[in-house]
Amino acid sequence: MDNRQRFAVHEAIQKIKRESETNDKRQYMEGFDACVLPALKEFAELANSLLEIQNVSGFAYGCANLYGR
């Protein structure tokens, strides 16, 4: 292969990798929304707490009520 062909192959591999990572993140978010989030909401409601969820390169969540976190 010449350099142009190698570059084209490299670009195609990088595109597939990016699409795969995007798909993995989307599936993770769907799973979180379908399974984990309802349980967290129920827990927060039962504990009379405010549920705070942040999605910044991963998830962070916390519950706060009158007694603290």
Q: What is the largest CA-CA distance in the chain?
A: 67
Q: Classify residue 19 by burial, with Cβ atoms within 10 Å: 0-12, 13-18, 19+.
A: exposed
Q: State which amino acid sits at residue 18.
A: R
- Write out the DSSP string of 27-68: HHHHHIIIIIHHHHHHHHHHTT-EEEEEESSSEEEEEEBTTB
User: Which residue range is the domain that position 54 belongs to?
Assistant: 3-64
Q: What is the pLDDT along the chain (69 residues), one digit of tens a residue?
A: 899 999 999 999 999 999 998 888 889 888 888 998 899 889 888 988 888 887 766 666 677 777 765
Residue 55 within a domain = yes
Number of domains in the chain: 1
Residue 69 within a domain = no
